Structure 1
Amino acid sequence: MTPYQITATDVCLFLVAVFLIYKISTNRKSNITTKLRGPPSRSWLYGLAGVIHDAENPGVLFEQWSSEYGSVYSVSGFLGQQKLVLCDPKAVAHFYGREGFGYVKPPMIRFFIEIMFGRNLAWAEGEFHRRQRKFLTPAFNNSAIRDLSHIFYDSAHRTSSAWDAILEASDGSSTIDVQNWMNRISMDSIGIAGFSHDFGAINGKPQVFDAVDLSAGATFFAFTVMVATVFPVILRLPSKRKGGLAEMKRVFSSIADQLLSKAKEHKNEEDKSVMGLLLKSETDDANIHMSREEIIAQVCLSISGYETTSISLTWALIELCRNVDIQNKLRKEAVQYGNSDPTWEHVNSSLPYLDAIVHETLRMHPPVFETTRMATEDDILPLSTPVMTKSGETVNSLFIAKGTVITTPIGTLNRSEQFWGPDAKEFKPERWLEDSAPRAKEIQGHRHLLTFIDGPRTCLGKTFALTEFKAVLFVIVRNFAFEFPGGSDTVIGKYRGSILPRPKVIGEEGSQVPLRVRRV
């Protein structure tokens, strides 16, 4: 008997059948959710998902569509699935205010978090998330971060010493891959501050997770993500990229397990670090009891947090190379402290230009571009600006049906000319020293940015990240000058072979950002 061969026609017929079943099953929801205008679909199969994925800067697309179709509009995805895009500040505030209860991560996103890290704080939803967050908050409050600030300075100074050795072996300047070094700083900082463990990255100790390649199978992975928005079961299919994520989880879990065992040997009941709090959750009388697997998942998440800060530091150095006058102005502010490091209070209140550069970097280059959630129940979404529905009616609010997928494009709102003015696409720290963007105040969130999102799931490590960012940038810019080896024409692109997209110099291998560094 000849084995049956699947033909292209079979595949097309199958997709058509799936499409019809999907449309019938979602017809009731489509009739309830307010139907909005939006850009026309480019493909009956992929909708606009491929266009968005391939765009160099999706934020520009979202902003163009917002100006054409209104502050809230609809975009089509795989098999015509509709997703609402929120560019209205009142709608965004309402959305974030109900995140974790009224709006939760779609199954696809939770699945990938579980693959990478396990069932941790980022994976948890609802009351379980609230209790976990409350339990871990003491490790990230202002008092705790004040006591940790010396660790950030120490990491920066150890890096400075390593760079001095490199420069002494050359003619006083050298080309250094700064992204690699920002990774080292952030990894050692989170290790010591959160777990009393020095990973030794700054001293050159190999980091096993650096060898995990997430770039393999990127095309098939992108297709899987599109399909999974409608059929989450496809996530169970094997792929090279998913295998890379699973390998990263294995590596992180191995590190977390070692840290946990080490911490138990030196347990301190007064320890309020991340690890100290997690160890307390193992006791019988703990307010929140976590299994060993859950504790390891929390440690994996905390370790992975190094990436957001290292990305932000790298973007800051890139922008300082693009704007030498800004770099010199920051250095002039920093050298006023001589060889001393500012206190935690001073770094947060007495260095206005450093603060401006840090927040301008976070505005221009948020490590996470968007927030996508699914409604768990019917809801009314308020609007600050009326929008026109698909039928031509003008409305001041939208009815959201249970199951509706909603996206807030963080990168778009952070750089929107409507809220930040005509120079919104420019790196301009001075905007933080003057009241030049009054409409930005309509956006809730830290300093009117959505980089740390908003609401009950605001980034728990926000103060940790800001303090580390400022301390490290202060030290290295005070001691060193940076420029592009290839001159001002250097082109910066995106590297997607990591958990989050990273900047890279076009033409360089991987995520390298080589800069010419010299002592000042």
Structure 2
Amino acid sequence: MLATEYGPTAQITGFLGRKQLYTFDPKAMHHILVKDGALFQPHRIDGPLLFGKGLLSTIGEQHRKQRKMLNPVFSIAHMRSMMPIFNNVVDQLRNALTERVQNGAREIDLLGWMARTALELIGQSGFGYSFDNMVDDVPRHEYSIVIKDLAPALARLAFARFYLLPLALKILPTYALTFIMNITPWKSLHDVRDMVNYMHELSVEVYEEKKCAFEEGDEAVVKQIGKGKDLLSIMMKENRKADSEDKLEEAEIIAQMSTFIFAAMDTTSSGLSRILHLLTLHPEVQDKMRDELIAARREHQGSQLSYDELVGLPYLDAVCRETLRLYAPVSSLLRKSTEDAIVPLSRPVRDADGNEVTEIFLPKATTVMISIMNANRDPKLWGPDVLEWKPERWLSPLPEAIMNSKMPGVYSHLMTFNGGSRSCIGFKFSQLEMKVVIAMLVENFKFSTPQNKEIFWQMSGIASPVVVGGGNFGHPQLPLIVELAKGD
């Protein structure tokens, strides 16, 4: 393993022999993502082609302008107002699972249901739009299928996206690339094109419906699914009252919709599925969490927990944090230096001549790979038990080493949600999703692993579970035994 052999920082060789920097050194990451973040841009040359002018695609002043507009949208106050929407969706999930197991335990693919739930949560709370009735065995809305297939389709084009496309963009305008893409007999390429076009068309449709509702007045907006409290409604309200220099173009607002769904759905469903799988491997943790949830419900006379009551549950919070530490859905992120740069290190390394160095010179256009996984699993910061899944570590003070490390992550001294000006803007939204869903599931159901199936987690951009053996290996799925939890 690279980290074991070379430590937190190493020079590696990439495509065509190009030198790249690999690191999870806290000081180096802080420099790259925070202090000199403007010099290290995302390595996503295809972003504008996939998602338009959204947060994942824009850089510089345009990105700062969008963050300024969107930061209030993800405020704690707005998260609180979304609780009824979240509860409505998880009630649909509870009813669907209850119907399937009311006559006894049953094996169910929880990954599929977590993906459907994540999409419906972002649909209703994000845009005031429903993608799924959460009743049928398979989702009927085409968007559910498209968004599920997009990440694997992009993975099949990885070489073209990361190596051929940058070269093409240097010599060809976008319209020429579009023409070439349309006439090239490459099914995978056409599949991605069709998916992206469909996502954009639906985003425009939802935006236009919301725009018409606003023109009709507040009453029309409140009648929609999100009741005017969804992210899109809030974003449009903020944009309408913003100064002219701060306003976003319609194309920018529309682009955020596909951006939010793509960024949130697979990562959230991966995180939820990982927690459920871990709870089957650690039934004592599942029981302890259920006890906490039942006690909290009893304390509030059986009513739905409020935002503050839910996020204040210590053991639920510890399970979520520990899972996101040890099993981040995304294992790494890429940056590219826009000019020559010097990156300082907190832990010196030795160069090819054996000399100790405390900083590294990076020529312009050097690719930097930041290891999220190893940053979260660094034994020098987290201690010798770093590879153990121990929710209890979050119920007492963390090691001084991690507290003093100046880890640039935006969340809990972790790199799971990135750091700096391009950190995940919706990380609080994602946390709330996970807690609402897991709380409902664990309180109402008991989960165990099928005896005849071994579950393995593969990393293909985003971590996903598969069943080892059989004729369907490689197809993401999480078959678990689900039964109604016995009341006290």
Specify whether residues 95 and 193 from structure 1 end up closer, same or farther in structure 2 by C-alpha distance, changes over 3 A only: same
Q: Does 1:260 align with 2:236?
A: no
Asked if residue 224 in structure 1 is aligned to residue 171 in structure 2, the reply is no
Which residue of the partner structure matches residue 85 of structure 1?
A: 22
**RMSD (Å) for aligned C-alpha atoms:** 2.7
Counterpart in 1 of 2:224?
none
What CA deviation, in whole Å up to 9, does each residue of 1:469-506 have, x standing for no partner?
A: 1111011101100011136x62313274xx73422233
3-state DSSP class of the match of 2:441? helix
Matching residue of 1:430: 392
Q: Distance in 1 between matches of 2:432 and 2:151?
A: 31
The superposition leaves residues 402-457 of structure 1 with CA deviations (integer Å, 9 ceiling, x where unpaired) of: 22211111011112223222222221111111346432221232111001111111
Aligned length: 448
Residue type of the partner of 1:511? P
CA distance in 2, matches of 1:387, 1:473: 42
**Inter-partner Cα distance in structure 2 for 1:194 and 1:230:** 32
1:340 aligns with 2:272: no
Query: What's the % identity of the aligned pairs?
Result: 30
Q: Which moved more, 1:503-512 or 1:301-310?
A: 503-512
Q: Distance in 2 between matches of 1:410 and 1:182?
A: 23
Which residue identity lines up with residue 195 of structure 1 in the other structure? F
Distance of 1:215 and 1:84 partners within structure 2:
25
Counterpart contact for 1:88–1:384, Cα < 8 Å? yes
Name the amino acid aligned to 1:189: L
**Corresponding position: 1:64 with 2:1:** no
* Cα shift at 1:463: 0.8
Q: CA deviation at 1:214?
A: 4.9
Letter in 2 for 1:513: L
Structure 1 residue 191, shift from structure 2 partner: 1.2
What is the correspondence of 1:406-417 to structure 2 with a 5 Å cutoff?
Answer: 406-417=368-379
Aligned to 2:257: 299
Q: Structure 1 residues 410 and 116 mapped into 2: Cα distance closer, same or farther (>3 Å)?
A: same
- Asked whether the equivalents of residues 77 and 226 of structure 1 are also in contact (C-alpha less than 8 Å), the reply is no
Whichever residue aligns with residue 255 of structure 1, its letter is L
Distance 1:220 1:307 in 2: 17
User: Residue 63 of structure 1 aligns to a residue in which SS?
Assistant: helix
2:140 to 199, 206, 221: 206
| Pairing partner for 2:55 from 121, 128, 131 | 121
**Are positions 1:134 and 2:68 aligned together?**
yes
Partner of 1:503: 465
SS in 2 for 1:341: coil
- Letter paired with 2:482: V
What letter matches 1:190 in structure 2? I
Question: Does 2:348 match 1:386?
Answer: yes
- Corresponding residue number in structure 1 for 2:82: 148
Paired residue for 1:275?
232
CA contact (8 A) 1:86 1:408 kept: yes
Q: Which amino acid aligns with 2:157?
A: F
Aligned position for 1:247? 194
Unaligned runs of 5+ in 2: 222-227
CA distance in 1, matches of 2:114, 2:152: 24
Partner of 1:390, secondary structure, is coil
Query: What amino acid is aligned across from residue 340 of structure 1 in structure 2?
Result: S
1:101 aligns with 2:38: yes
Instruction: Give the drift of 1:458.
Output: 1.6
Distance 1:200 1:185 in 2: 8
Deviations 1:369-395 (A, max 9, x none): 212111122322221112212232222
Q: Is the 8 A contact 2:45 2:162 kept in 1?
A: no
SS in 2 for 1:138: helix
Identify the range of structure 1 (287-296 vs 449-458) with the bigger mean alpha-carbon deviation.
287-296
How far is the alpha carbon of 1:232 from its aligned partner? 5.4
Task: Decide whether aligned partners of structure 1 residues 162 and 424 sit closer, same or farther in structure 2, where only a CA change above 3 A counts.
Answer: same
Q: Secondary structure at the match of 2:256?
A: helix
Q: Which of these residues, 134, 148, 172, is aligned with residue 104 of structure 2?
A: 172
- Distance in 1 of aligned mates of 2:122 and 2:455: 31
TM-score (ref. length: structure 2): 0.84
* 1:348-363 alignment runs, 5 A limit: 348-349=311-312, 351-363=313-325
CA distance in structure 1 between the aligned counterparts of 2:468 and 2:168, rounded to whole angstroms? 35
**Superposition deviation, residue 121 in structure 1:** 1.0
Amino acid at match of 2:318: A
Closer, same or farther in 2 for the Cα pair 1:285/1:207, shift >3 Å? Answer: same
CA distance in 1, matches of 2:30, 2:2: 18
SS of aligned partner of 2:401: helix
Q: What is the rounded CA distance, in whole Å, between the counterparts of 1:301 and 1:64 in structure 2?
A: 35
Residues 102-140 of structure 1: per-residue CA shift (max 9 Å, x gap) = 11023xx231x2333222111011111011111111210
Q: Structure 1 495/455 Cα, relative in aligned 2: closer, same or farther at 3 Å?
A: closer
Name the counterpart of 1:372. 334
Instruction: Check conservation: 1:178, 1:514, Cα contact below 8 A.
Output: yes
Kindly indicate whether the alpha-carbon contact (under 8 Å) linking 1:311 and 1:502 is maintained by their aligned counterparts in 2: yes
Partners of 2:357 and 2:242 lie apart in 1 by: 54
Distance, in Å, in 1 between the alignment partners of 2:129 and 2:480 is 30
CA distance in 2, matches of 1:343, 1:477: 17
Cα offsets for 1:276-328 (capped at 9, x unmatched): 25545479964434444333211111222222211110111011111111111
